[in-house]
Amino acid sequence: MNARTEQASEDMSVVEIAAAGGPEQLIFARRAIPSPGRGEVLVRVVAAGVNGADVLQRRGLYPPPQGASDIPGLEVAGEVVARASDVLNIKVGERVTALLSGGGYAEYALADESLCLPIPEGLSLIEAAALPETYLTVWSNLFERGDLSSGETVLVHGGTGGIGTTAIQLAAARGALVLATAGSAEKARACERLGAVRGIDYRSEDFVHIARQATGGRGVDVILDIIGASYLERNLAVAAPGGRLIVISLIGGSYTEINLSTVMRKCLTLMGSTLRSKSVREKAMIADAVRRNVWPLISAGQLRPTIYAMFPLGMASEAHRLMESSQHIGKIVLTM
């Protein structure tokens, strides 16, 4: 199949962002099916994951990197229907899940060959669409940057979101003691069912006090934080000596004061990261590590993506409303 010739006159359904704003700004549209460029494959999308980054992009707060599609969507699963001439390791007809820089809310999406991963044994394409963005984010931050080891304690904020449900399961599977915050007692118990030794209802409980109790007063070794400024002081307070705080989102703001004496006295490491802005080469290295270290755990049934809800592509605005309501536990997926 030659994408450049046979598909030149064809088009596809997509979801566009009409203007920065609320979920109503997501509109159904038609666009030409793209053709693979150097190192790329064309995926006929079966499902696409919905992520917080998509919501921020829709609001006008997180523009796509230069050269990326303006269509939202950072992860998909489906079938490869065309490939560039220099792509050697992926065949037409192969089923893959892929990390994108954009373009996932569409019937067809371009993906770099190096960011395509095989579907783990036992998973459907819909489940596989919930993997790349969350698993690469969690692996790179908890285990590569945070150096989380078996026997250490990790505190996961936002334990029932896509990142949180993934982080709890993966950290527990690799031998860490997991604590997790969530927005209700029900959600705290959901964190425990996923593998946390203690779910913490941040609306009625003090996570600093509970984490200190759970660790005999020592504090936690690694903190994965999606809140940012409003949690910084308490995160530093609950960190153990030599602790690592990793900020990956700024729901609670980006500006605050910091007591550097706490950082110095405890020998703490404070770091932040985003996955989308990394180079293809950097993301490919993370993807390879995830394939080697995480995919076997999924195939063995030790991990499984938590799918909360599915919406057809044309109901992307409803998917975003659910995402912003914070009522979900796990991932939201668009199906084609």
Give me 160's structure tokens. 């029932």
Q: Determine how β-strand 40-50 pairs with β-strand 95-99.
A: unpaired
pTM of the model: 0.93
Task: Calculate the CA 148 to chain-centre distance.
Answer: 18
- Contact indicator for 232, 255 with CB cutoff of 8 Å: no
Distance CA 262, CA 267 (A): 8
Amino acid at 313: L
Q: What is the per-residue pLDDT for 6?
A: 39
110, 107, 126: which is closest to 14 by C-alpha? 107
**How distant, in Å, are the alpha carbons of 19, 199, 210, 215, 223 from that of 239?**
41, 17, 13, 11, 8
Identity at 158, one-letter amino acid code? G
CB under 8 Å to 186, separation ≥6 — which residues? none
Cα 114 to chain centroid, rounded: 18
| Pair 299, 128: CB distance under 8 Å | no
Q: What is the pLDDT along the chain (336 residues), one digit of tens a residue?
A: 344 333 444 899 999 999 999 999 999 999 999 999 999 999 999 999 999 999 999 999 999 998 999 999 999 999 999 999 999 999 999 999 999 999 999 999 999 999 999 999 999 999 999 999 999 999 999 999 999 999 999 999 999 999 999 999 999 999 999 999 999 999 999 999 999 999 999 999 999 999 999 999 999 999 999 999 999 999 999 999 999 999 999 999 999 998 899 999 999 999 999 999 899 999 999 999 999 999 999 999 999 999 999 999 999 999 999 999 999 999 999 999
Domain range list for the chain:
3-131+276-335, 135-272
3-state helix, strand, coil in the chain (%, to 5): 35, 25, 40
Integer Cα distance of 133 and 130 in angstroms? 7
Token pair for 62 = 């997180």
Cβ burial of 245 (10 Å; 0-12, 13-18, 19+) is buried
The Cα–Cα gap between 107 and 96 comes to 15
Which among 223, 219, 211 is positioned nearest to 265, based on CA atoms? Answer: 219
Q: What pLDDT was estimated at residue 1?
A: 35
Length of the chain: 336
List the structure tokens of 175: 């031998």
- Contact between 188 and 195 (Cβ < 8 Å): no
Phi, psi at residue 285, to the nearest 5°?
A: -65, -40
Read off the amino acid at residue 311: F
- CATH no., domain 3-131+276-335: 3.90.180.10
Residue reference for tokens 């793209």: 34
Per the structure block, which two tokens stand in for 81? 């229907």
Q: Which two tokens stand for residue 204?
A: 């009625």
* CA 317 vs CA 58, 291, 322: distances in Å: 10, 32, 9
The two three-digit tokens of residue 24, written as one number: 């109503």
Residue whose token pair is 């308490």: 234
Residue 9 tokens read as 């006159």
Q: Which CATH architecture has domain 135-272?
A: 3-Layer(aba) Sandwich (3.40)
